[in-house]
């Protein structure tokens, strides 16, 4: 157990899917897992462990922002012997090709955060990458399931609602698809702990079309992303 997770060691699977929202974790567990058991509720950060197609899977929320996922993912890697974490979250799109509902695979995360350097991880040009073998497995799974994905580099920042000129500069100068708030820390922790990490995202907001999902849709209408995460997990 840790100060943030009361689950016993054997109650956490080797592969963990991590949405930001605790209620999304609850919805995923109830809809997709068999015999799902709530194993953590400290600070309301729900974790459920069950089976998906006979493979033991944990779904645990990580909250919002780099510091929050930094704590929870590190504890899973370092203290619960988790081998792979797949973040399944939302992203604000910078490009018209990725409208609300589109699925993005974050091959790379660019950030101005000092998180990586503070934990001793080198981030060349402020970029960290998803684990190559996990990424390749997810790409193959998406192809097999005929789930359309957009792949590339995303911005991992503290300010989700940046100014429109800032978004355009980042898109044009860095080739960024959109902005979210956690992938950079997850990739840093995976590198530090010699583990595996990937970030699969659904566009919840478009800074191009100005469309946005409702709070209810953010919790429950992310099927393609969730299924892709689960199907990738059982192939690991």
Beta strands of 7-123 (E only): which ranges? 15-18, 34-40, 47-52, 55-60, 84-93, 103-110
Residue of 41, 158, 205, 224 with catalytic role: 205
How many Å apart are CA 146 and CA 96, to the nearest integer?
A: 21
- What are the two backbone dihedrals, phi and then psi, of residue 231, each rounded to the nearest 5 degrees? -70, -30
Q: Identify whether 205 is a catalytic site residue.
A: yes
Please give the C-alpha separations between residue 31 and each of 38, 84, 135, 149, in angstroms, as whole numbers. Answer: 14, 22, 25, 23
Classify 119 in phi/psi space as left (phi over 0), alpha (psi -120 to 50) or beta.
alpha
Q: Which residues are catalytic?
A: 205
């Amino acid at each position: 157990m840790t100060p943030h997770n009361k689950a016993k060691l054997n109650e956490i699977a080797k592969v963990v899917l991590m949405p930001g929202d605790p209620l999304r974790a609850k919805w995923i567990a109830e809809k997709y897992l068999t015999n799902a058991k709530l194993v953590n509720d400290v600070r309301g950060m729900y974790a459920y462990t069950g089976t998906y197609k006979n493979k033991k899977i944990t779904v645990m929320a990580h909250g919002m922002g780099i510091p929050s996922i930094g704590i929870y993912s590190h504890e899973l890697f370092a203290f619960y012997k988790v081998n792979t974490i797949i973040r399944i979250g939302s992203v604000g799109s910078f490009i018209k090709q990725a409208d609300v509902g589109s699925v993005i695979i974050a091959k790379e995360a660019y950030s101005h955060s000092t998180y990586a350097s503070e934990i001793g991880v080198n981030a060349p040009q402020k970029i960290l990458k998803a684990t190559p073998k996990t990424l390749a497995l997810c790409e193959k799974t998406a192809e097999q399931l005929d789930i359309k994905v957009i792949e590339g580099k995303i911005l991992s920042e503290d300010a989700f609602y940046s100014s429109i000129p800032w978004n355009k500069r980042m898109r044009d100068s860095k080739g960024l698809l959109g902005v979210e708030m956690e992938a950079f820390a997850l990739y840093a922790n995976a590198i530090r702990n010699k583990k595996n990490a990937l970030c699969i995202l659904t566009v919840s907001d478009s800074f191009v079309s100005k469309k946005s999902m409702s709070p209810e849709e953010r919790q429950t209408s992310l099927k393609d992303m969730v299924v892709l995460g689960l199907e990738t997990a059982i192939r690991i």
